[in-house]
Amino acid sequence: MGKIQMKTPLVEMDGDEMTRILWQMIKEELLLPFIDLKTEYYDLGLEYRNKTDDQVTIDSAEATKKYGVAVKCATITPNAARMTEYNLKEMWKSPNGTIRAALDGTVFRAPIQVKGIEPCVKNWEKPITLARHAYGDVYKNTEIKVPGAGKAELVFTAEDGTEIRETIHEFDGPGILQGIHNTDRSITSFARACFSYALDTKQDLWFATKDTISKKYDHNFKDIFQDIFEKDYKSKFEAAGLEYFYTLIDDAVARVMKTKGGFIWACKNYDGDVMSDMVSSACGSLAMMTSVLVSPDGVYEYEAAHGTVQRHYYKHLEGEETSTNSVATIFAWTGALRKRGELDEIPELMEFADKLEKATLKTIEDGKMTKDLALITSLEDVTVLNSQEFIRAVRETMETF
């Protein structure tokens, strides 16, 4: 049987440490034997980012805009320790941050559910996809520790010098202050990314804020979502039999617990940070979580939700065996290949992506898994495999289909 042919290259962003090792194994065992893999390769490993003054990250984001689909390996975000470890010229920014800024994207994350690794919330039959707004609010705040009595005001000065001024509080003693913001432009692209992704994945969309308390700030989010929905998406949602549902954040939290799952939950930045950790921990493992960055003009970047698994990499360097879970990285590849297949009308490529995902899940359901899953599975008599053995087991399962 001939290999599957591709038309347009995938933008391939290689990464760091243990995930870089998995990346190579996945390509060799699970992709190259079946696909005439066409990629435009960018090495986002920290060494090469440093060598190119991080230009490679910018180039990879530009290539993603050009081709429309990228697959990314986890990468190191440098900190002080990495400066010495890699002898860096500068503390380069997070590649994910750079790519997200270039694509103006929203990140969608969903647990990969498999028999034997059941969510703690028993009625969650289908994954809940979290869409987190990744700009502004408390993540771009300005804070003051108020030393003592005095008046705090919120002042906006327009370009022409006119002022809007509101009293925040008259302090009679020490306290704290915080200024936060967001922009209509960012909220608009967040909303568009959510509506498009809901249509794309045929799932209902939920959105929740605290607009009863925050009558201008949160209300603005609600209004922008509603306006865009009415104007551009309502008829498309109706045609697809989908629902857009807005409610208060506390009501959403209570309802989510009682649902069967299978929808997208859009959250403001802070809510998304907290709620995605809640959903992923309720589903067992960060290594069982897909993550895709979607830009408002329909560019996709697929990755794993976890990091470079540094602790395992150091063991690997010392020649010790590792049992690192490659499922999320495999699903980053299948997500990207399926999307490429869809855009280029290559049904075999989409079928291959489905088959590889099924083989990955079946391998686990057959009791063959990495250590992180073996620790939490409800299956009995499981075999704990090392990093390489698991990938080979997936290959064997795939060959039985």
Q: How far is the CB of 276 from ligand NAP (least distance, A)?
A: 12
Give the per-residue contact string, 41-80, with ligand NAP (x = CB under 6 A; - = no). ---------------------------------xxxx---
- Residue 386 near ligand NAP by CB under 6 A: no
- Residue 350 near ligand NAP by CB under 6 A: no
The gap from C-alpha 43 to its chain's centroid, in whole angstroms, comes to: 20
Q: What are phi and psi of 170, to 5 degrees?
A: -100, 105
Residues in region 153-182 near ligand NAP by CB under 6 A: none
Using Cβ positions, the residue closest to Mg ion within the complex turns out to be 273
Residues in region 245-274 near Mg ion by CB under 5 A: 273
- Residue 220 near ligand NAP by CB under 6 A: no
- Which one among 264, 279, 286, 346 touches ligand NAP, defined by CB under 6 A? 286
Quick one: what does residue 76 bind among ligand NAP, Mg ion, none, with the CB cut-off 5 to 8 Å set by partner type? Answer: ligand NAP
Measured from the Cβ of residue 309, the count of other Cβ atoms closer than 10 Å reads 25
Give the per-residue contact string, 295-334, with ligand NAP (x = CB under 6 A; - = no). --------x--xxxxxx------------xx---------
Q: Would you say the C-alpha torsion 98, 103, 104, 109 has a positive or negative sign? A: negative
DSSP labels, 21-45: HHHHHHIIIIITTTEE--EEEEE-S
The gap from C-alpha 52 to its chain's centroid, in whole angstroms, comes to: 26
DSSP summary character for residue 117 = B
- Which one among 277, 321, 351, 354 touches Mg ion, defined by CB under 5 A? 277
CA distances from 14 to 188, 262, 285, 371 (A): 31, 31, 23, 25
Nearest CA among 68, 79, 87, 89 for reference residue 11: 68
The gap from C-alpha 106 to its chain's centroid, in whole angstroms, comes to: 8
Quick one: what does residue 112 bind among ligand NAP, Mg ion, none, with the CB cut-off 5 to 8 Å set by partner type? Answer: none
Quick one: what does residue 308 bind among Mg ion, ligand NAP, none, with the CB cut-off 5 to 8 Å set by partner type? Answer: ligand NAP
Give residues in contact with ligand NAP (CB under 6 A): 74-77, 96, 286-287, 303, 306-311, 324-325, 372
